[in-house]
């Protein structure tokens, strides 16, 4: 084997003649060159890694600064509107130019109500807003999918409200920011042992302190997969901005539903306004007086009404108008884009079967329509994150053969009730409750703008 080395006097072969063999210094230089080269390469690699880490941190800082700038500009516009409307009585402008204030002012933060939480939020929140989820040990597997994908997206402003010690340890071991409340017998008894719906009802009491401290909260259940940063897709012009249980433009955003009663003759058609419910498992709430009043109303009703469902109460308080014997809540609201903030009915009924819709990447997918939540969450990750095109195919559109399906079949076969229109996907037996005219058997129909009629 031969090699050539470049030196000041030309090339030397690996087998030089006898007269130049004494040049031992040249040999030493040749032998040390690979060592120096390796050291330089390692140093360069180290520099690249250091600069790469610094670049990631700088990108994060730029993203946060841009978000703060956008929020400041948005807040400036809202403040200008509020000042113009509230400062003094105004005359109405020309036709088509008059607009009311849609964005209520935020409350003055009061850190005295919970200094420990205030300190945590100051460290975690970005632009005075953050994602918050409640969790106990019953939902640990889903919680892991939840925060794993939040981290993948690059979201830093999120917090888990740990309802038991096991979740505290779980968050610590996975470097997940968490908050554990001070002992509260009423909340702790539900938080440590309660199922999904019981825990869901606690959030309205717990969130109040976040709002009092001046923070906007994007409340999230743990059966949600994050695929983009949701803060890039919020309008922030309303007290409550919520995802919908609707599955198309009509059901998500509202429509005119005509009820037909032939016995009324000429007046047989009655127009009704319908909208499928907001999902209380994913909504953005601003720290305003109407928002805090909403939380108080819901928490009060859930405490007094043992069989009440938090999502039904959430929607009733948001939508029911004032009427004799009842003063309605004057909170502004906005429905999120149902393709960006996607429920699992939209995904498994419509999107996965449409070649064009499958190309869209939602911000989140909420597995709210299906009880087999964990495998569907993992399938969503496989499809949208890992690119496995057939990941969603093994799943049924609904949950055939379920207890609920059998119950409804029996109801239609044995009851005098005729369900003229039925848009419900979640329901359960509830003892002595009735809803929407259904009296026998006694059931609670809680979601998706149910409208059963007795005829």
pLDDT at 99: 86
pLDDT at 244: 98
Q: Give yes or no: residues 276 and 205 share one domain.
A: yes
pLDDT confidence tier of residue 50, bands split at 50, 70 and 90: confident
pTM over 0.85: no
Domain count within the chain? 3
Nearest to 242 by CA among 334, 151, 157, 326: 334
Mean pLDDT of 218-245: 98
pLDDT at 39: 83
Produce one character per residue of 267-288: b if its CB has 16 or more CB atoms within 10 Å, e if not. eeeeeeebbbbbbbbbbbbbbb
Q: Give yes or no: residues 48 and 179 share one domain.
A: no
Q: Give yes or no: residues 158 and 266 share one domain.
A: yes
- The CATH number of the domain where 208 resides is what? 3.90.550.10
Nearest to 239 by CA among 105, 370, 96: 105
Establish if 242 belongs to a structural domain.
yes
332 vs 8 pLDDT, higher one:
332
Q: Give yes or no: residues 373 and 408 share one domain.
A: no
- Tens of pLDDT, residue by residue over 363-373, are 999 999 999 99
pLDDT at 87: 58
Q: Give yes or no: residues 62 and 128 share one domain.
A: no
Mean pLDDT of 89-115: 91
Q: Tokens 């308080």 appear where? A: 317
Establish if 64 belongs to a structural domain.
yes
- Tens of pLDDT, residue by residue over 406-449, are 444 444 444 443 333 333 333 333 333 333 333 223 333 333 33
Establish if 32 belongs to a structural domain.
no
pLDDT at 243: 99
pLDDT at 286: 99
Nearest to 454 by CA among 400, 418, 411: 418
Mean pLDDT of 199-224: 94
Residues 282, 284: Cα–Cα separation, whole Å: 7
Residues 238, 260: Cα–Cα separation, whole Å: 35
Q: Give yes or no: residues 52 and 138 share one domain.
A: no
Q: Give yes or no: residues 245 and 152 share one domain.
A: yes
Q: Is the predicted pLDDT of residue 22 greater than 60, yes or no? A: no
Establish if 290 belongs to a structural domain.
yes
Residues 39, 165: Cα–Cα separation, whole Å: 49
Kindly state the percentage of the chain with pLDDT values over 90: 60
Q: Is the predicted pLDDT of residue 85 greater than 70, yes or no? A: no
Q: Give yes or no: residues 241 and 287 share one domain.
A: yes
pLDDT at 49: 84
Establish if 27 belongs to a structural domain.
no
Q: Give yes or no: residues 244 and 329 share one domain.
A: yes
Establish if 389 belongs to a structural domain.
no
Is residue 384 helix, strand or coil? helix
Q: Give yes or no: residues 180 and 272 share one domain.
A: yes
Print the SS3 string covering 294-316. HHHHHHHHHHHCCCCCHHHHHHH
Q: Tokens 């999918």 appear where? A: 145
- Tens of pLDDT, residue by residue over 341-387, are 999 999 999 999 999 999 999 999 999 999 999 999 999 999 999 99
pLDDT at 75: 59
**Which token pair is 146?**
């939840």
Establish if 1 belongs to a structural domain.
no
Establish if 94 belongs to a structural domain.
no
Q: Give yes or no: residues 210 and 241 share one domain.
A: yes
Domain that holds residue 76: 38-87
Q: Give yes or no: residues 196 and 333 share one domain.
A: yes
């Amino acid at each position: 084997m031969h090699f050539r080395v470049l030196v000041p006097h030309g090339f030397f072969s690996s087998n030089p003649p006898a007269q130049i063999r004494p040049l031992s210094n040249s040999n030493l230089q040749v032998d040390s060159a690979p060592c120096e080269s390796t050291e330089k390469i390692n140093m360069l690699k180290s520099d690249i890694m250091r600069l790469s880490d610094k670049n990631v941190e700088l990108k994060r800082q730029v993203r946060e600064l841009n978000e703060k700038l956008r929020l400041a500009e948005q807040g400036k516009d809202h403040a200008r509107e509020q000042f113009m409307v509230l400062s003094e009585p105004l005359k109405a402008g020309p036709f088509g130019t008059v607009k009311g204030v849609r964005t209520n002012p935020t409350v003055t933060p009061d850190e005295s109500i919970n200094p420990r939480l205030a300190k945590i939020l100051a460290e975690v929140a970005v632009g005075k807003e953050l994602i918050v989820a409640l969790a106990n040990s019953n939902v640990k597997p889903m919680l892991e999918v939840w925060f794993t994908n939040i981290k993948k997206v690059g979201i830093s402003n999120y917090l888990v409200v740990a309802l038991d010690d096991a979740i505290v340890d779980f968050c610590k071991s996975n470097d997940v920011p968490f908050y554990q409340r001070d002992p509260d017998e009423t909340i702790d008894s539900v938080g440590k042992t309660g199922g999904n719906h019981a825990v869901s009802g606690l959030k309205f009491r717990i969130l109040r302190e976040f709002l009092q401290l001046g923070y906007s909260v994007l409340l999230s259940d743990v059966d949600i997969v994050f695929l983009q940063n949701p803060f890039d897709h919020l309008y922030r012009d309303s007290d409550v901005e919520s995802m919908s249980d609707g599955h198309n433009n009509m059901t998500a955003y509202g429509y005119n539903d005509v009820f037909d009663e032939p016995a009324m003759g000429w007046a047989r058609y009655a127009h009704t306004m319908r909208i499928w419910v907001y999902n209380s498992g994913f909504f953005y709430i601003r720290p305003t007086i109407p928002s805090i009043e909403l939380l108080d109303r819901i928490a009060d009703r859930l405490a007094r009404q043992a069989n009440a469902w938090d999502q039904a109460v959430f929607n009733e308080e948001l939508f029911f108008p004032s009427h004799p014997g009842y003063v309605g809540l004057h909170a502004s609201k906005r429905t999120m884009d149902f393709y960006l903030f996607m429920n699992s009915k939209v995904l498994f009924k419509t999107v996965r079967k449409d070649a064009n819709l499958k190309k869209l990447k939602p911000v989140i997918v909420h597995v709210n329509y299906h009880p087999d939540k964990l495998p569907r969450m993992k399938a969503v990750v496989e499809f949208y994150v890992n690119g496995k095109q057939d990941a969603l195919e093994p799943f049924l559109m609904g949950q055939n053969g379920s207890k609920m399906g059998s119950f409804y079949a029996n109801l239609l076969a044995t009851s005098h009730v005729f369900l003229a229109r039925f848009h419900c996907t979640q329901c359960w037996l509830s003892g002595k409750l009735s809803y929407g005219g259904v009296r026998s058997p006694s059931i609670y129909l809680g979601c998706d703008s149910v409208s059963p009629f007795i005829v």
